Amino acid sequence: MGGAIHASAGVVVSWEPAQIRVADVAILRVRGLADSAVVEGSVGPRPVTFVRDRQGYAALVGFDIELIAGRQPWRVEIREPGQATRSLSGVVPVGRREFPVQRLTLPTPMVDLDPETERRAVGEIETLRRLYRTITPERLWRGSFARPIAGDEAGTGFGSRRIINGQRRSPHGGADYAVARGTPVTSVNAGRVALVAEHFFPGRLVIVDHGLGLYTLYFHLEEARVEIGQRVALGQILGTVGSTGRATGPHLHFGVQVGPARVDPERLLALTLSD
């Protein structure tokens, strides 16, 4: 079942996985309710959206890569026909996670940007932030998520505290798959293409909206084979691996956003999700 954290009058609230760390993506579950129930809630300062599945009601929750470990408050409100609204609350412990330090040397123009390039990069970052704040109110994915690249080797580098040309930078928010140029990149689940663009840092990119605030990111592509607004299925080719943008060689940077939270892609792939 996962970690049961609250039980009241036949309603059980639990987390999967049972132990959560910084940068995890987790499922907040509510069981024991009728199909007619309306469930709303929040974790920390942000609301979460519940959907009905075979086990009850579930919400995906992201714990950002730079979240301070500790106890995060949660709240669930339940409305059922003919009954008063019920409110359940508690805290979920979020454990620490240590990340490696990665030192990189890149050409100076890729690090110390001229004013025009700096304005471009800042504008592109804000475009992505606005996108991640956009919540599609329906679930577009079905079942568990699959790898974006064929094979079985895990992505690397997520969370690395990067020092580039001696300058400390933001942590690396994705998992890197170092594979040959031209390798197909596939959608990890069903969704809708939210963005196809070419940005300074990520290079040629595709972003897929899976609904309910969940986005997957595919950076440094050689080419994109989808268009904005296109519906895509699990395993559908989105593009091919390249080295566009700020990249030291061909690889896929695969990222996951749950709302504004940057989470470990491998944790999303490890979740067991049902329809």
Res 19 pLDDT > 90: yes
Res 148 pLDDT > 90: yes
- Identity of the highest mean pLDDT range in 109-123, 129-143, 210-224: 210-224
Q: What are phi and psi of 270, to 5 degrees?
A: -85, -15
Res 39 pLDDT > 80: yes
CA distance 15 to 59: 10
pLDDT in the model for residue 16: 92
Give the tens place of pLDDT for each residue, 69-124: 999 999 999 998 888 899 999 999 999 999 887 777 777 766 777 789 889 999 99
166 vs 68, higher pLDDT: 68
Place 163 in a pLDDT band, splitting at 50, 70 and 90: confident
pLDDT in the model for residue 3: 65
| Overall average pLDDT of the 53-61 stretch | 90
pLDDT in the model for residue 1: 46
pLDDT in the model for residue 129: 94
Res 261 pLDDT > 80: yes
CA distance 45 to 24: 17
pLDDT in the model for residue 109: 67
CA distance 100 to 6: 35
How remote is the C-alpha of 220 from its chain's centroid?
18
When the pLDDT of each residue in the chain is averaged and rounded to a whole number, the result is: 91
Res 30 pLDDT > 70: yes
Q: Is 166 exposed, middle or buried (0-12, 13-18, 19+ CB in 10 A)?
A: exposed
Give the tens place of pLDDT for each residue, 226-257: 999 999 999 999 999 999 998 889 999 999 99
| Number of Cβ within a 10 Å radius of residue 96 | 9
pLDDT in the model for residue 140: 96
pTM score of the predicted model: 0.90
